[in-house]
Structure 1
Amino acid sequence: MNIFVVEDEHWALKEMEALLKEYEPEHKIYAFENGEDAFEHVKKVKPDLIITDITMPRMNGLELIEKITEIDRSIKTIILTVHDTFNYAKTGIQLGVMDYLLKPVKKQALFEVTDKAIADIEKDQKLKREKEKWTINQLLFSSMEEASESAEINQKEYVFLYLLIGNWQTNTEKDHFLSELNLKNIMHKLGLPLDHFWVVHIDSRRKVMLLPKNDHLNIEHEFLPKLYEYLCAEGQVHMCYLNKEPQIELKDAFESAHKALTREKLFGKSTFINAKKESTPDKDLRSIWDIVRFLELSIEKGESARIKSYIEQLIQQLRKIVPTQKQLQDFIVDMNYAILFKLRQKKTMALEIDPINQNIDHLNHMVTFSELEKWLHTYFYQLAETFSPKDVAPKHLIPKVKRWVEQDYAKNITFLEFSDAHHVSLSYLSREFKAQTGMTFVEYLTEVRIKKAIELFEAGKERTVEVGELVGYHDPKHFRTVFKKVTNYTPKEYKQKRVKWKE
């Protein structure tokens, strides 16, 4: 905080200034030899605490305090005096003086009074900021009529910043990089010369920041790009801003920012949005519709490998184009309707799968194109199983075998069980599996199980017997043997090395 010291005796002022250096750099000390100079400087720098002598020429201490309180009653004051009299104390109380020190000022007394004043000011400032933050939060969702007592805050001029981490319904850690503490640390690192700003919590993924306008800093063109770059280094973030003029209510500013972010937010990539700019035109997706036509044919024939390939191509094109999430959502719904329409024309069977448009909200949980790819794989494989003929060629069953293993690895599954269920020769299916994966069914099952066991150890599971049972090995000795064969370590050795690796 800013501390003004006002004393007309030169050496007394120098002595106090030297003593108060103890409070730097956390607090900044300003020294003045008369009340007029101190009062003039208030126009440039707002003090939080003023320690002033009473008896001074031209403008005495009490006159200085009276003028200061007319400007801002939150500024606290301590008076220095040789007059230990009731009249001065009475006048000081009327002016809101916190305390007084008798001259000559003793070092210990100065520190005790200053420490108490700083603690009281910090407490008052904290309560004030909490009240202001609560008021701002209410104003984001309330009109002036509903909160008329907050008109002063509502009518101020700010740079209004709306931040979203990941996506609208992404699961986020409690202390992610949009926490208030982290944002304040970033502001400090970037050297933002603002006395204060507000960070308002909307939910675990969204924050609103209000940055008071500063005539000496171009916040929009200088500071915000730096802040955006800094946040992008931490993770995927979407930033939308606008200049909130005095006549614009906070509620209206929030609605404008939310609409702009909903409209312009990219999928799979961070976004920097000026809410006042015109909407970005939709991207050209015609090249992707050619892939969709081939995807529809593969779904009809139940060609799992081709379905996987076309979904990968589709995702690859979307990565290059980077559509807005709104356009992507519309595209996925339209694509699904187009595929279902073609399949229903060719088939007479009823649809036994939930249409994707009923689950499109899942898109709001995703952050990356890899997550989208996995989701589309699951949906279109299920669709293919519903529509495709039952006598699928063995070569097209291999992706289904892999999905079956990855889903039921903890059970006592065999390749014979799968071949019987699909009326396919076990030897033929085994040859096809080896040709497509480069390993036998047992080798693939073992690889999946040991990979899952490692994930469980990494997640904190310590009991080897329990981990073995969770991945399908009910004989602890056999599990230890297989684990060492695959990883070159016994489970015990792996856990010990994992601790060393983390250190």
Structure 2
Amino acid sequence: MTKLLIVDDEQIERDGMKAILQKAYPEIVIEQAKNGNIAVQMVDKVSPDLILMDIKMPGMSGLEAIEVIKKKFPKIKFIMVTAYDMFEYMRAAIKFGVKDYILKPSKASDILQTVGKVIEQIKVEKELEEKNRLKQQEYQKALALVETDIVTQLLFDHVHEVHLDMLVEMLDIKSTNEMFVICVLIPQEKENIYSLIKDKARKVGSCWVGALYGNQLPIIVFRDPAKTFRSQATFLAREILSIGKSNQEQWFIGIGRVVHSLEKIKQSYQDSLIATIETKLPQKFRFYSDVPALADDGMNLLAFREKDFSDQIRLGEWRKIQGNVMGFIQAHEKEGVDIVQVQQRVVEVLWFISRIMREIGIQTITPLYSFKIQDYRQLRTEVNLLLEKMKQTHAEYYEQFEAATIRQVKQFIIDHSHEDISLESLGKKVGLSSIYISKMFKEKLGINYIDFLTECRIEKAKSLMCDPEKSIKEISYEVGYHEPNYFSKVFKKICHMSPKEYRKNVLHTNR
């Protein structure tokens, strides 16, 4: 909506001008001021787009008022209204950016022509501003995605088409050569909690906020050289925790060690996860350096089983995964190893499993103990529960994935059944091995790949036989068979009659 302010010391002039303009432009809002001082005071409240300013007024003149207003509101446009067609006024007016002038008295048509040009200009500028605002909004959304993408690439080893260095250059966020990761564990019921944390982190310092994975939010924080590491991290943690005062029991923050390059930031992230191993502490944040050190006793299951776990997860061999983890727990229970050390080693394995699942594209739970574990029986129960949840997520993902893939493969075969389609070429099309496609066909459709391809070709042939102009030989070539005799044998096997007999029946029925 365009707003206009008429400034004139004569009431009759103001009312006359308003009547003329309001009739021609009923949609604009028109306010009045009887002198320059009042106009200056009203601008803050009214925020006019255009001011029709009389030049000769008692007190503050029109030119003085324009000068004052322009300094504070440079976007406001002015049309000078004067009974004096004098050069010095025009020169001063041009200096202050006055768009045009109206002489007193003027015809209504002259007034509308002069004001109309400026109103149209205002309209065009507003439309351009709105377009720019929307573009800026979209750009900011894109930058938010870039930011989360950077964190994802750095922490989860994701490889994207756009190189990491190019993404970093896009962000206008000050970075330093020292950084650390904080991992925020938050309740999931609050819808705007992500934006609240992001805003709070931004106000506290320079950082990159990652995507929310389940109830886990990783943030890469750049060191502030004016503060110590512990004071900077503690202040940030307390500021974020202040968001969840009402249900702070469900909040916890783990703080990783400082590293000196982005290549090492994943280590700080893993530190921050280890710091969250026990979330029922009185203080709702903990530094990795404050976690009791583990004895170097060869207890690291991942050091021996990392590749095995990776392969087993991708193949969905959850019984083997569970057997390895439970065997690890049982062996150390027999040796009487401290329960805290074992549960920490086990949670590292669970985090590794969840990371591999995310790399595959499966958004699973963040594996964290839901209570303070007192003995090995509780540890086995809790670990089994976490593994079951991840197993269920894995199964649901592949059910959806296979259903979508089956649809894609079926449609491709239907559309290209007349071509020489091999399992290998089909595998390349959907990015899967020929063995997996063959197995999936048999399990999900109860039919092998060749039989389905044959059915597609025969259905297409049956449709083409409705056209008496096409010979059986032409049809056999068109549906993908190079030998008409072989086509006839296949057709008879499936339809229990020869192609000629089928065509005779179809054409007879259609008469």
Shared fold, TM over 0.5: no
The structure number with the bigger radius of gyration is: 2
Q: TM-score, normalised on structure 1? A: 0.38
Q: TM-score, normalised on structure 2? A: 0.38
